[in-house]
Structure 1
Amino acid sequence: MTKSELVAAIAEKAGIRKKDAEAALNAFIAVVTEALKKGEKVEIRGFGTFLMKERAQRVARNPKTGEKVTVPPKLVPAFKPGKDLKEATEQELKKKRKK
């Protein structure tokens, strides 16, 4: 699903104009981004948590030369799904597997 498809789905579900849905989605993205930049986590009960995780240092290979390269540790944004989201998606997956 692309951002424009998401905006259209939100507008339809909420019964609002696409322009308003896009503004709300952009505001949500901006708020989450700012919180993550500050090192805060954003928890939406039942849906999930946006947070920053530290990726450990590792040894990788340069695909061009095959040379070993040390990749330093870094912080990356992550999403941890909540209980309700996990259950809802698992149920849907089970339905599809039965078919």
Structure 2
Amino acid sequence: MNKTLTRADLAEAIYSKVGISKVESSDIVDQIFEEIILELIDGKSVKLSSFGSFMVRDKKQRIGRNPKTKEEAVINARRVVVFRASKELKNKVIND
């Protein structure tokens, strides 16, 4: 089974490849995620070249159905974060 990549793994990779301290590399990873989160909160898209884009989408209120009881229920309007992988990322994943 494949291991999930974590923030700590990213910080460790920066530490070993760039040569800065573990604390600094961890701070860099945290700051990158914080900037992405702040942009998404503001409703902006985040495009990472050759990787993909994060976007906020507004979903309208709709009627759904409870799969167990088959009873209809209202699903409230909400904001969701979506990720769209770039063509480069898709090609790398498919070809490796």
Please state which band the TM-score falls in when normalised by the shorter chain: 0.7 to 0.9
Runs of 4+, deviation exceeding 3 Å: none
Shift of 1:25: 0.9
CA separation of 1:86 and 1:13: change in aligned 2, threshold 3 A: farther
State the distance in 2 between where 1:58 and 1:14 align. 51
Distance 1:70 1:84 in 2: 39
TM-score by length of 1: 0.77
Query: Structure 2: which 5+ runs fail to align?
Result: none
Count of residues paired in the alignment:
90
SS at the partner of 1:52? strand
Identical positions, percent = 22
Quote the Cα distance in structure 1 between the aligned partners of 2:40 and 2:25.
23
1:49 to 49, 53, 67: 53
Alignment CA distance shift 1:87-1:62 (3 Å)? closer
Between 36-45 and 52-61, the greater mean CA deviation after superposition = 52-61
Residues 28-80 of structure 1, C-alpha deviations (whole Å, 9 max, x = no match): 111111101111101111111111123343403175xx243211221111111
Which segment drifts farther, 21-30 or 50-59? Answer: 50-59
Aligned CA RMSD, in angstroms, stands at 1.8
Write the distance in 2 (CA, Å) between the matches of 1:74 and 1:60: 17
Q: Do residues 21 (structure 1) and 21 (structure 2) align?
A: no
Correspondent of 1:31 among 32, 35, 44:
35
